[in-house]
Structure 1
Amino acid sequence: MGHYLVGRLFGVKAETFSIGFGREVAGWTDRRGTRWKVGWLPLGGYVKFKGEMVPGGDTVAPLSTLPPSERVERFDAKPAWQRFLIVLAGPLTNFIVAILIFIALFSMTGLPTTPAVVGQTVPGGAAEKAGLQANDRILAIGGGRIETFAELADTVRLRPDQPLRLTVERGGRTFDLSVTPSRSVERGQSLGTLGVVSRPMVWEKGGPAAVVKAAFRQTGDVVETMIVYLRQIVTGARPASEMGGPLKIAELSGEQVSAGWLNFAVFAALISINLGFMNLLPVPILDGGYLVLYAIEALRRRPVPAAVQETALRIGLAALVMLTVFVTANDLASFGLFRNLRGLIG
């Protein structure tokens, strides 16, 4: 929708607005000539603008040979900065949707303000072994200041078996200590645990400014978590087998619906942030790849050759298909399909 609205703002004709991919199940054409449709494969959606390059798309005559009435509504006839904004509007809309969801939730439930204070330690846990005690207030992790127990949990959860430097306040004095979160596996994901229990949860009502600030901060925290997760995948600190795909998303969606509307709303915000973040990666065929091409065009003051763009898009499409196959295989493995097949064959 972000692509569509900004495209219309700049006078670009949207030929297709599709929810889902593949063969059309249902649809209609509006008075502007845009085909609104639902595809049979519900794994996303897209907007196809007139004059937009796609892998394997038809070539057109040079823009200079087209009449003004034809050029005015074409995507490829617009200045690079307008094309940049049209593409950027898609992932930005994902982030805006997530922020609006968090604003609504925090307005209803209040802001999570449980302090980062140890209520008690689990016997034999990483925290007890490191010397943490009940009533210790954790001020920072690795030099980064934290205020709430949720921030502590989010940081630790992503770093199993990784030594962390905690800045602790106890009895009026401040000191550092090192702790290595234990590794636990939940639903195929490696998680770090300290072995501490928080004090009773605290939720405080906040004014509009505080709620909006908290929503932006929550969105930023999720993005930071994704960056850390991706870096761990690339460096091998986290196995690629933990990456989930569309089947895992569908499974988790069903679980969150069963858990109640609040859980599902939070999950929807997380998925929206995930989509926005992934689409901004500088990979051809994704929005981030197009943004790189338009930035290069602006620097060169002339478009990237069509042949180069076509090759890049084909490579990006192939990489995306391979990634989809890989994460789908991960999903099936997490469901026990391959283990059951081995049992049947054996």
Structure 2
Amino acid sequence: MTDFLASIVGSESLLVGTVIPFLFVLTVVVFVHEMGHYLVGRWCGIGVNAFSIGFGPELVGFTDRRGTRWKLCAIPLGGYVKFVGDMNATSTPDAEEIDKLSPAERRIAFHTQPVWKRALTVVAGPMFNFLLTIAVFAVFFSVYGRVVSEPMVAEVRAGTPAAAAGFMPGDRFVTVDGHQIETFDDVRRFVSGRTGDPLVFVMLRDGKEIELKATPEVMEQEDALGNKVKVGVIGVVNSQELGQPRIITYSVPGALAEAVRQTGQSLERIGNFLKRFAVGREDKCQLGGPIKIAKMSGQAANLGFEMLVQLVAGLSLGIGFLNLLPIPPLDGGHLVFYAVEAAIGRPVSERAMEMVYRVGFLMVLGFMGFVFWNDLFGC
């Protein structure tokens, strides 16, 4: 009996070790995203019928004094805010349904608002995801600081692009492809996502700057959670002696500024990865769906609450970025329609919106199917 209970509720069980961390990670990210829509929408004077975490049948909920139904639903793979006047899942306007609204409802309906209010409400979701990431980074930087190493070459591995290019121990990185280098992590950041791209390295050797060219090659490594990932490397190694690792401490404003900078760099990496992925230059197994997220949540939880929070920050950043892609029914797709509306002075026709939303919806379904396939069979 003891073994049976341990298999269900023990720390190594599926429930406690994977499901609960997964629900924690996803719920926090979704809640923050939808809260962005809700808070800015309310600030803009838009009425809210429902705020839901999850889809499907309602498990628990309550209605507040403003008439908003707050609920937790059975399928915890997302969430939504239903504004007054939202008649369908894609939030496209329906003239007949809007005509059925009372005058009071029409004043606070989403689709009767100026285009800038609608755009601000839509973009608030991804922006709140970015703010969550910045907040997590800022707390970690202010509490723990940041470990950095000098961008020095301690060893050049034989048979690597660096060896072929003429890198030597004692060289110091100055720039990589025109980007200034301050720490060895900067080198990793610029190289890891550029497999197959010829890069120009400016190195400091014996007090003189020299230019070397190398093309990163793919190498399988372990990430912080122990998963195998493929990254670009040139084959140089840092060391404690030459790298002289140290901890940079930050004041609260300094930690916030560094958090913003790191978040911007992470967004740039995500964008570069997706561009390379679209043309077949990245490993498809780098993308995963709910099953991979659940696995990573369990791994992070085993390493401690701090690692789980870092996973929340990373996932929040990714969700925010993906939602800004200009594909209906994502937030970015809505923003494209609002931009067109602002440019031509009238809303896009319902027929045109419906056609585009159908195509976009099929694209989103195709992507979801792809990552599910990766989770189950592809990787």
The TM-score, its normalising length taken from structure 2, stands at 0.82
Query: 1:286 deviation in Å?
Result: 0.3
Q: 2:265 aligns with which of 200, 221, 240?
A: 221
- Pair 1:146-2:181 in alignment: yes
Aligned counterpart, 1:41: 75
Q: CA–CA distance in 2 between the matches of 1:27 and 1:274?
A: 29
Give SS of 2:96's match: coil
1:111 maps to a residue whose letter is R
State the one-letter code of the partner of 2:162. A
Verify the 8 A CA contact 1:126 1:180 in the aligned structure 2.
yes
User: Using a 3 Å threshold, how does the CA distance of structure 1 residues 220 and 53 change in structure 2: closer, same or farther?
Assistant: farther
Q: Which residue of 2 aligns with 1:326?
A: 370
Select which of 278, 287, 309 maps to 2:353. 309
Q: Is the 8 A contact 1:71 1:77 kept in 2?
A: yes
Aligned-pair CA distance for 1:54: 2.9
- Report whether the alignment pairs 1:272 with 2:312: no
Answering whether residue 282 of structure 2 is matched by residue 238 of structure 1, we say yes
Q: Which runs of structure 2 are paired with 1:183-222 in the superposition (5 Å)?
A: 183-186=218-221, 187=227, 189-198=229-238, 199-222=243-266
Name the residue aligned to 2:115. Answer: 80
Rounded to whole Å, the distance in 2 between the matches of 1:321 and 1:62 is 27
Q: Alpha-carbon deviations, 1:219-246, whole Å to 9, x = none? A: 0111110111011111221244542222
Secondary structure at 1:159's aligned position in 2? Answer: coil
- TM normalised by structure 1 equals 0.90
Q: 1:266, CA displacement in angstroms?
A: 2.2
Residues 1:283 and 2:323 aligned together:
no
Supply the distance in 2 between the matched residues of 1:317 and 1:163 (Cα, whole angstroms): 37
Question: C-alpha displacement at 1:115, in angstroms?
Answer: 2.2
CA contact (8 A) 1:246 1:328 kept: yes
Cα offsets for 1:187-231 (capped at 9, x unmatched): 564311233222243221122332222111110111110111011
Q: Structure 1's 262 and 125: CA in aligned 2 closer, same or farther, altered over 3 A? A: farther
For 2:204, the equivalent position in structure 1 comes to 169
Contact 1:92–1:276 (Cα < 8 Å) also in 2: yes
For residue 72 of structure 1, give the secondary structure of its aligned residue in structure 2.
helix
Q: How does 1:4-15 map to 2 (within 5 A)?
A: 4-15=38-49
CA distance in 2, matches of 1:302, 1:102: 41
Does structure 1 conserve the Cα–Cα contact (< 8 Å) formed by 2:90 and 2:329? no
Distance 1:20 1:64, change over 3 A: closer
| Secondary structure at the counterpart of residue 11 of structure 1 | coil
C-alpha deviation, 1:142, in angstroms = 0.9
1:61-90 CA distance string (max 9 Å, x none): 375785431212210111111000000111
Choose 20-29 or 181-190, whichever is displaced more.
Answer: 181-190
Is this contact kept in 2: 1:54–1:310, CA < 8 A?
A: no
What does residue range 247-258 of structure 1 map to in structure 2 within 5 Å?
247-258=291-302
- Deviation string 1:279-299 (CA, Å, 9 cap, x unpaired) is 000001000000011111111
Q: Give 1:300's aligned residue.
A: 344
Corresponding residue number in structure 2 for 1:116: 151
- Corresponding residue number in structure 1 for 2:63: 29
Residue 155 in 1 paired to residue 190 in 2?
Answer: yes
1:2-59 deviation per Cα after TM superposition (whole angstroms, max 9, x unaligned): 0000111122121111112222222222222211111222222111111125358894
Q: Structure 2: 5+ residue runs without aligned partners?
A: 1-34, 222-226
Does the 8 Å contact 2:47/2:109 carry over to 1? yes
SS in 2 for 1:133: coil
Distance in 2 (CA, whole Å) between partners of 1:60 and 1:25 is: 33
Identity of aligned residues (%): 38
Q: Counterparts of 2:286 and 2:71 in 1: how far apart (Å)?
A: 34
- Contact 2:133–2:317 under 8 Å retained in 1: yes
Amino acid in structure 1 at the alignment position of 2:231: L
CA 1:183–1:62: 2 relative to 1, 3 Å: closer
Contact 1:162 1:180 in 2 (8 A): yes
- 5 Å matches for 1:59-78? 59=94, 61=96, 66-78=101-113
Instruction: Confirm or deny: 8 A CA contact 2:85 2:109 kept in the other structure.
Output: yes
Cα distance in structure 2, aligned partners of 1:29 and 1:65? 23
Determine if contact 1:120/1:133 at 8 Å carries over to the other structure: yes
Residues 142 and 166 in structure 1, CA contact (< 8 A), matched pair in contact too:
yes
2:167 — aligned with what? 132
Relative to structure 1, the CA distance from residue 90 to residue 65 in structure 2 (aligned partners, 3 Å threshold; closer, same or farther) is same
Structure 1: where are the runs of 5+ without partners? 336-346
What is the rounded CA distance, in whole Å, between the counterparts of 1:67 and 1:21 in structure 2?
28
Counterparts of 2:352 and 2:375 in 1: how far apart (Å)? 34
> Hey, what's the Cα distance between the residues in 1 that align with 2:210 and 2:50?
60
Aligned position for 1:343: none
Partner of 1:16: 50
Q: Which residue of 1 aligns with 2:8?
A: none
CA shift digits 1:134-173 (9 cap, x unpaired): 2311111111112111111122111223322111011210
Residues 311 and 71 of structure 1, relative CA distance in 2, 3 Å threshold: same
